[in-house]
Amino acid sequence: IDTIIPLKSRNIWNKHQVKKFEDKEGFEGRFIGHVETTLARSLYNCDDLAAYESTSLSVRDNLIIDWNNTQQRITARDPKRVYYLSLEFLMGRALDNALINSQAGSDEPTSRPMVEKSLDELGFNLEDVLKKEPDAALGNGGLGRLAACFIDSMATQNIPAWGYGLRYEYGIFAQKIIDGYQVETPDYWLNFGNPWEIERNEIQVPVTFYGYVDRSDGESTTLSPSDWIGGERVLAVAYDFPVPGYKTSTVNNLRLWKAKPTTEFDFAKFNSGDYKNSVDAQQRAESITACLYPNDNFNQGKELRLKQQYFWCAASLHDIIRRFKKTSRPWSELPDQVAIQLNDTHPTLAVVELQRVLVDLEKLDWHKAWSIVTATFSYANHTVMQEALEKWPIGLFGHLLPRHLEIIYDINWFFLQEVEKKFPKDFDLLSRVSIIEECSPERQVRMAYLAIVGSHKVNGVAELHSELIKKTIFKDFVKVYGSQKFTNVTNGITPRRWLKQANPKLAELIGKALNDPKQNFLLDMPKLTELAKKADDPEFQKAWDLVKANNKLQLADLIKDTNNGVDIIDREHIKDTLFDIQVKRIHEYKRQQMNIFGVIYRYLAMKKMLKEGSTIEEVAKKYPRKASIFGGKSAPGYYMAKLIIKLINSVAEIVNDDAEIVDLLKVVFIPDYNVSKAEIIIPASDLSEHISTAGTEASGTSNMKFVMNGGLIIGTVDGANVEITREIGEDNIFLFGNLSEHVEELRYNHQYKKTELPPELAQVLKSIESGVFSPENPNEFKPLIDSIKSHGDYYLVSDDFESYVATQELVDEVYHTQKNDWIKKSILSVANIGFFSSDRCIEEYSETIWNVEPVKPET
Ligand code: OX2
């Protein structure tokens, strides 16, 4: 390995090599060192925040040492590497995860107990210290969290992999609920600095925008090396985040880019005295990485977003290429050394950028370049929803990236020729598969089509979804390429964060039951099947139930905190209160509206019984204790989703204050749902709701998290619910509703035939219309009602409502009259959830798409 340090100096370097701390003594030395010098504080003014910073810096020191070794090992062995490009990484907190994953030399399952003890002796409580860390909320929902789980699994499996993304100054907004409405406030997560990032001021990549293509030589064509004269230049600065694997010393890298102005400025303006304007444009550079776009499953089409995408793709590719070039291999070997995974279409510009680099800068022949490009990239699709599919008006696109638009035209030209050759004269097909959409008011670049054409593999994220994309949005591409290009990799989640970190007591209980106190099962989740043997064991059931009850108490604390210290949940009855939870982005297709309608139905039915003379005991028999818990953010501009949040809060207000029904029904909306809250909420569920209209939720991943924590599911036959059912058995899940193959017909019926509302739903809608939940403004929720009654009920709430309500009654019955059976279902579900470890996903991607192998540390 090259070094600038002369040989004769190396002894000193080696003598003073920094070592990892391996025990309490070592940790304490580091901790106090960081408090006193890095933070310039002392024992007199070290508060919890300083303790958090100092603990993080100490643990980070260990990770950096392992990070360095990992990177050196990989450089030396030079294997094929994976680059995971994602515009979102929803990481949550880093410290607890680092404590769990890094071993700090002990043979303990983790170094966490050691640090906990140390901190205690130093005068701090680990739990309080951990809470000082703000979430790294650089994502919207499932897509960003998937990326976070995947990089955890890649590190754990010693895959030579880097993540590339953007270092947004503001993550997803913080949600406040004011008078029942969502109010967004900025999430300046870097307020107190960030001990987990390493600013690499030495890595600055210039990125160009606007300008024109110079073809004044009269010789070159769009297919030959062309000169793009950019009009604006900014710098991408690298920030690195260590990603530790579990029970391995591999520490991978997540590189996030920040935009900053170049040091050049406009001398013409400066000399003419226009100093301010000469600086202003430069300053605007920073806006590129200022904010995460807060939309989930929705494409807003803003220029700044395209700018973010290019900025990130250009910088990342530059970095990848620089690393490849160091090995002096020929370009033809790029696909043997590099796999680039596109997390949805957001990074598709990387395909075009690589073609540009190869043709314009490296002077490769167009076709040679293109075969290298397509062998390098693969694309994962995450949605079939039209409003989420990215398309860019060519005007906007060509203005920002003139050369890239030319390249896209040429890619399309050759692609359409290929199609024409296979299907001569099928002009309809040509226009359907064209990367350029011709018929809309303005021509548009279809990014998903570009991603398919530019990749060697395309995958969906659950079996049903992968089948659906082949039959619907990408049908024509199956015709053109054959179905081998399309594959499935069902999503997964990391059991380190979602079982061990979120639910340590359950992990411990499982470890004991499996005779695996060091919790090696977290690396081999299919091992959990052994648990099934314990499903009928009354002692084990009791222990299992106790873990759940304690988790529910913790959630009750969280709910109390977010409700100005007022308890909503009756703690005395916590064991026989069914915690029914739906937490995820608020979206009409996810159907939180159906859930709250179900709650209203229940409330009305209870009131009716009372009115007709039933005693409260009789009511309780039919409608036993239940807490209906919601959480999730709406996109700031999504009117209907915001109205759903308001309805939930309005219902909560009426129901929770109704003394007549005593405490039998409670409704809670937990504000500002995020990863760290999910870690408290998910382990506390008895039941969780995954009730999207069939065919709309590509996979879902919280469904897996809930089951892994011993919760049962009420759900539709959609996304990964299908495979969860197959794995855990249909006796252990409450499925209901219409199937995806009937959706089209049902929608058609709503449009063209007269359909009746089921009486249960009619009753609910009537009560909303009459202002029961909005006495001041009975019309407040009219748009929600109209969407069902007058606008075609696109999400088929009226078609699924009866079976939803009936299934909820079945849930009550099992939970309240056959509790042992319920617990048994819970144990059996956990026993069979191993398939959904993200470790399995990474194995599948590695073998079938990336063709990469682990590089294990020497032991
Ligand atoms: C989400 C999908 O909606 C969800 O079903 C899936 O589990 C997740 O991605 C991870 O694959 N934006 N978010 C998603 O898709 C898009 C687009």
* Residue located nearest, by CA, to atom 15 of ligand 1: 382
Alpha carbon of 490 to ligand 1 centroid (Å): 12
Distance CA 160, CA 157 (A): 9
Q: Is the CB of 382 under 6 A from ligand 1?
A: yes
**Do 480 and 581 fall into the same domain?**
no
84 domain-assigned: yes
Backbone angles phi and psi of 263, in degrees to 5: -85, -5
- Residue environment code for 162-175, b if the CB has 16+ CB neighbours within 10 A, otherwise e: bbbbbbbbbbbbbb
Q: Are residues 581 and 485 in the same domain?
A: no
Element (H, E) at 260: strand 251-261
Local structure of residue 264 (DSSP, 8 states): -
What kind and span of H or E run contains 468? helix 463-471
Residue at 544 is within a domain = no
ipTM: 0.99
| CA–CA–CA angle 386, 288, 214 (5° rounding) | 90
Q: Is residue 523 part of a domain?
A: no
Q: Of all atoms in ligand 1, which is nearest to the CA of residue 720?
A: 7
Q: Report CA(699)–ligand 1 centroid distance (Å).
A: 7
The phi, psi pair for 343, rounded to 5°, reads -85, 95
User: Which residue reads 């995408």 in tokens?
Assistant: 309
Instruction: Confirm or reject: Cβ of 718 under 6 Å from ligand 1.
Output: no
Closest ligand 1 atom to residue 700 Cα is 7
Our answer on whether the CB atom of 142 is closer than 6 Å to any ligand 1 atom is yes
CA atoms within 13 A on the CB side of 101: 32
Any ligand 1 atom below 6 A from CB of 719: yes
- The best mutation among 84, 172, 297 to test binding of ligand 1, ranked by most ligand atoms within 8 Å of the C-beta, falls on 297
Query: How close is the Cα of 853 to the center of ligand 1, in Å?
Result: 27
Neighbours of 511 (CB within 10 A): 18
Residue with the smallest CA separation from ligand 1 atom 7 is: 700
Output the CA 829–ligand 1 centroid distance in Å. 23
Return the SS3 of 666. Answer: strand
Query: Where does 391-488 show beta strands of DSSP type E?
Result: 391-393, 436-437, 444-446, 457-460, 486-488
Give the whole-angstrom CA distance, residue 136 versus residue 393: 32
Shared domain check, 462 and 592: no
Q: Which domain holds residue 319?
A: 79-93+133-490+845-850
Count of domains forming the chain: 2
The DSSP bridge partners found for residue 162 are 83, 253
| Residues 352, 208 share a domain | yes
Q: Are strands 626-631 and 712-716 parallel, antiparallel or unpaired?
A: unpaired
CATH of the domain at 700: 3.40.50.2000
State both tokens at 35.
Answer: 């408090």
Choose among 651, 622, 551: nearest CA to 817. 622
Which residue has the CA at smallest separation from atom 9 of ligand 1?
A: 143
Residue pair 110/98 in contact (Cβ under 8 Å)? The answer is: no
Per the document, the length of the chain is 859
Q: Are residues 228 and 343 in the same domain?
A: yes
Q: Where are the beta strands (DSSP E) in 167-249?
A: 174-178, 181-185, 198-209, 212-214, 227-229, 232-244
Ligand 1 pocket member 462 (CB < 6 A): no
485 and 595: one domain? Answer: no
Nearest to 351 by CA among 309, 393, 390, 385: 309
* In a domain? residue 115: no
- β-bridge partners, 254: 163, 241
The Å distance, Cα 455 to ligand 1 centre, comes to 20
Atom 14 in ligand 1: which residue has the minimum CA distance? 143
In short, whether 590's Cβ falls inside 6 Å of ligand 1 is: no
Residue 389 CB–ligand 1 contact under 6 Å? no
Distance, CA of 187 to chain centre: 17
Maximum distance among all alpha carbons in the chain?
95
Same domain? For 479 and 604 the reply is no
Tokens of 597: 């309608």
Q: How far is the CA of 190 from the centre of ligand 1 (A)?
A: 27
Is there a domain that residue 168 lies in? yes
The reply to whether ligand 1 has any atom less than 6 angstroms from the CB of 383 is: yes
Cβ–ligand 1 contact at 690 (below 6 Å): no
CA angle centred on 147, ends 144 and 151, rounded to 5°: 150
CB-ligand 1 contact for 384 (6 Å cutoff): no
Distance 491 CA to ligand 1 centre (A): 10
Alpha-carbon distance of 242 to 253, in angstroms, equals 5
Q: Whose CA is nearest to atom 16 of ligand 1?
A: 297
Whether residue 478 is found in the same domain as residue 361: yes
821 within some domain: yes
Tell me, what's the pLDDT at 367? Answer: 98
- Cβ of 57 less than 6 Å from ligand 1: no
Pair 483, 580 in one domain: no
User: Is the minimum distance from the CB of 701 to ligand 1 under 6 angstroms?
Assistant: yes
Please indicate whether residue 143, judged by its CB atom, sits closer than 6 Å to ligand 1: yes
Tokens at 815, concatenated:
């939970």
Calpha distance 227→208 (Å, rounded)? 12
pLDDT digits 0-9 by tens, 322-343: 999 999 999 999 999 999 999 9
Q: pLDDT tens across 114-165, in order?
A: 999 999 999 999 999 999 999 999 999 999 999 999 999 999 999 999 999 9
Q: Which of 89, 143, 461 to mutate to test the pocket of ligand 1 (most atoms within 8 A of CB)?
A: 143
Q: 251 near 242, Cβ under 8 Å? A: yes
CA of 698 to the centre of ligand 1 (A): 6
CB 576 within 8 A of CB 780: no
Taking each helix axis from N to C end, the angle separating 538-561 and 504-513, rounded to the nearest 10 degrees, works out to 170
pLDDT along the chain (859 residues), means of 10: 81 94 95 98 98 98 97 97 99 97 57 94 98 98 98 98 98 98 98 98 98 92 96 97 96 98 76 78 89 97 98 98 97 98 99 98 98 99 97 98 98 98 98 93 97 99 98 98 98 98 98 96 98 98 98 98 94 97 98 99 98 98 98 98 98 98 97 98 99 98 99 98 98 98 98 94 98 98 98 98 98 97 98 99 99 94
Q: Name the region of 544 (left: φ>0; alpha: ψ -120 to 50; beta: rest).
A: alpha
- Bridge partners of residue 204, in order along the sequence: 237
Q: Which two tokens stand for residue 646?
A: 């308001």
Regarding the beta carbon of 841 and ligand 1, being less than 6 Å apart is answered no
How far apart (Å, rounded) are the C-alpha atoms in residues 517 and 536? 22
Ligand 1: residue of 90, 300, 382 to mutate (most ligand atoms within 8 A of CB) is 382
CA distances from 325 to 213, 378, 420 (A): 26, 21, 37
- Residue of the nearest CA to atom 10 in ligand 1? 143
Beta strand pairing status for 734-736 and 712-716? parallel
Q: How far apart are CA 490 and CA 672, in angstroms?
A: 28
Cα-only R_g, the chain: 28
The residues annotated as belonging to the active site are 382, 584-585, 590, 701, 705
Residue 700 Cβ contacting ligand 1 at under 6 Å: yes
CA of 587 to the centre of ligand 1 (A): 12
- The answer to whether position 651 is within a domain reads yes
Going by DSSP bridges, is the β-strand pair 444-446/391-393 parallel, antiparallel, or unpaired? antiparallel
Residue nearest to atom 13 of ligand 1 (CA): 143
